Structures are given as structure tokens and as C-alpha cells.
């Protein structure tokens, strides 16, 4: 497909590697600071500080009016949670921190779900299954593979573990913009969809739930929650299709 941008030069590759590593390092830093009592507003401040320290910009700040530098999605929040000073982490919570950074006009996007203190067995299962679902999707990425292969692998793993895959939201191409084609669904059929080619860069970011996969957007017009109130987890990497397979761009 001609509307799917590809990295072609080593300068572009270096730029994507640099910003990907930066986003991953900021995410790791935030992960090391999470504890009961920390507010999601604190997370937003830390992301702003660390991103600025590296001469970068939080891509999400002001994106279609998004009011913060980072998405913080706790428990039944699926994605796009808005950080607040009056939302404090409690033992037993799970929280996804989603960081997108821009450096020299290039974007890197990564997220992880963290457990706060001891969490329930169900929550732990959800988080670990979602982490494995992302890995299952990544394992399919190589030239000639179809996008449907990724979705099929992710969905199969999730179902096997008794979890549901959210279909209202998905991954996306990324490069000179945070969101580019293609749309990356986390369900699908083998052999369906776009054929991957060397140089494509996109995210895989499965959102799994412990109940129904149905979601709704709250009145703030951003926060996506499960309709049934069951908890949701998400992990995200930015990946490059290479000649032989793929390269993870968002490793610290």
C-alpha cells in the first residue's frame, strides 16, 4: 500500500531508534517511581521533566486537544486516561503509562502496565497475559507477513488465557507523525490485511480485558473505560520491519 510510509535511509533509522529509546527510558524511569500515594498528576510532571531534559517533546500534549503529556489508564480504564492530581495510586491497582516522545520531528510510542504493590491473582493474570499478547504479535512481524497474522496471534493467546481483546482501538503506523496508516488491529485472520515490507514502522499495543471487550468514552471525551467495569491492561512497542524480521525501537 502506497499510503503506508517506510523508513528508507540510515539517517531516518537512527532518528527513529533515538526517539524510541528515549520514550522507553522515560517509561522505565516512571515505572521505577510508581508507588502507593503517587498521583497520576505526578506522573505527568515527571514525564514532562524527563522529556524536556532530553531536548524532546511529549507528542501527546495538545494532540487533538489532549490536555496532558502522558496517558495514565488505571484499572477499568482501557486507554487515554488523563492524569490528575487527585487520582492517587493505591496498593492493588494496575496502571498503564503510555509515553510518546518527539525528537527532531520523529515519534516513538511505548506503554506498559504496572502493578502497584500486591495485586489480585486475576489482575496479575491479565497483566501477564497482555504482556505475552504483545510478544505474540511481535513474533509475527517480518517482511511478507500480513497484519492479520498479528491480530490472529494476539487474539488466540488472549482467548486461550480467558481474556478479551479490545477492538474499538488499535495500533498505528508511526514516524514523522504519532499516528499514521496503517491501522493495526489486535484481532484478525491469518493471511488478511496489509503485507508487511521492510522499513515500515508501526505500533502493536493490545488492550485486553477480564470481561467483555466493549468500551465507552467518558464525558471528558478522552477516557476510554470498559462498559462492564472489569479491568483492562495494555502494553505497547514501536517496531520496525527489517529485512530478516523486526527490530524493537522502544527498548531502553
Share of the chain residues as helix, strand and coil, in percent rounded to the nearest 5: 30, 30, 45
Q: Choose the contact partner of 63 out of ligand MF3, Co ion, none; CB within 5 to 8 A by kind.
A: ligand MF3
Positions 116 through 155 that interact with ligand MF3 (CB under 6 A): none
Q: Which residue among 100, 101, 129, 201 contacts ligand MF3 (CB under 6 A)?
A: 100
Shortest distance, CB of residue 177 to ligand MF3, whole angstroms? Answer: 11
Cα separation of 223 and 217, whole Å?
6
CB 64 within 8 A of CB 225: no
Tell me if 71 contacts ligand MF3 by CB under 6 A.
yes
Q: Which residue among 40, 51, 60, 101 contacts ligand MF3 (CB under 6 A)?
A: 60
Tell me if 26 contacts ligand MF3 by CB under 6 A.
no
Among the listed residues 166, 73, 59, the one whose alpha carbon sits nearest the alpha carbon of residue 103: 59
Sheet holding 77-79, edge to edge: 77-79, 224-226, 215-217
Complex with ligand MF3: residue 222 or 242, whichever CB lies closer: 222
- CB atoms closer than 10 angstroms to residue 143: 16
Cα separation of 37 and 100, whole Å?
24
Shortest distance, CB of residue 7 to ligand MF3, whole angstroms? Answer: 19
Shortest distance, CB of residue 205 to Co ion, whole angstroms? Answer: 5
Please work out the total of residues on this chain that contact ligand MF3, with binding judged by CB under 6 A. 13
**Vertex 207: Cα angle to 225 and 12 (nearest 5):** 120
Complex with ligand MF3: residue 34 or 224, whichever CB lies closer: 224
User: In this structure, what DSSP letter does residue 85 have?
Assistant: T
| Window contacting ligand MF3 (CB under 6 A); options: 39-47, 57-65, 153-161, 186-194 | 57-65
Nine cell digits for residue 49 = 521533566
Residue ranges binding ligand MF3 (CB under 6 A): 60, 63-64, 66, 71, 80, 98, 100, 109, 203, 205, 222, 236
Amino acid at each position: 500500500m502506497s499510503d503506508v510510509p517506510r523508513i528508507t535511509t540510515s539517517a531516518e533509522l537512527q532518528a527513529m531508534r533515538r526517539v524510541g529509546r528515549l520514550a522507553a527510558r522515560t517509561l522505565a524511569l516512571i515505572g521505577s517511581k510508581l508507588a502507593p500515594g503517587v498521583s497520576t498528576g505526578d506522573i505527568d510532571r515527571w514525564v514532562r521533566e524527563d522529556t524536556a531534559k532530553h531536548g524532546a517533546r511529549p507528542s501527546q500534549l495538545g494532540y487533538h486537544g489532549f490536555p496532558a503529556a502522558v496517558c495514565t489508564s488505571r484499572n477499568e480504564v482501557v486507554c487515554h486516561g488523563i492524569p490528575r492530581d487527585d487520582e492517587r495510586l493505591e496498593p492493588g491497582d494496575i496502571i498503564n503509562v503510555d509515553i510518546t516522545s518527539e525528537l527532531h520531528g520523529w515519534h516513538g510510542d511505548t506503554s506498559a502496565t504496572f502493578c502497584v504493590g500486591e495485586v489480585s491473582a486475576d489482575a496479575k493474570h491479565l497483566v501477564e497475559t497482555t504482556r505475552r499478547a504483545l510478544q505474540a504479535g511481535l513474533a509475527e512481524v517480518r517482511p511478507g507477513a500480513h497484519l492479520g497474522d498479528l491480530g490472529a496471534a494476539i487474539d488466540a493467546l488472549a482467548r486461550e488465557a480467558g481474556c478479551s481483546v479490545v477492538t474499538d482501538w488499535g495500533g498505528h503506523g508511526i514516524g514523522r507523525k504519532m499516528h499514521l496508516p496503517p491501522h493495526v488491529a489486535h484481532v484478525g485472520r491469518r493471511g488478511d490485511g496489509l503485507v508487511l515490507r521492510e522499513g515500515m514502522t508501526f505500533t502493536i499495543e493490545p488492550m485486553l480485558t477480564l470481561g467483555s471487550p466493549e468500551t465507552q468514552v467518558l464525558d471528558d471525551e478522552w477516557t476510554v473505560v470498559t462498559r462492564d467495569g472489569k479491568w483492562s491492561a495494555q502494553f505497547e512497542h514501536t517496531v520496525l520491519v527489517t529485512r530478516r524480521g523486526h527490530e524493537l525501537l522502544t527498548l531502553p
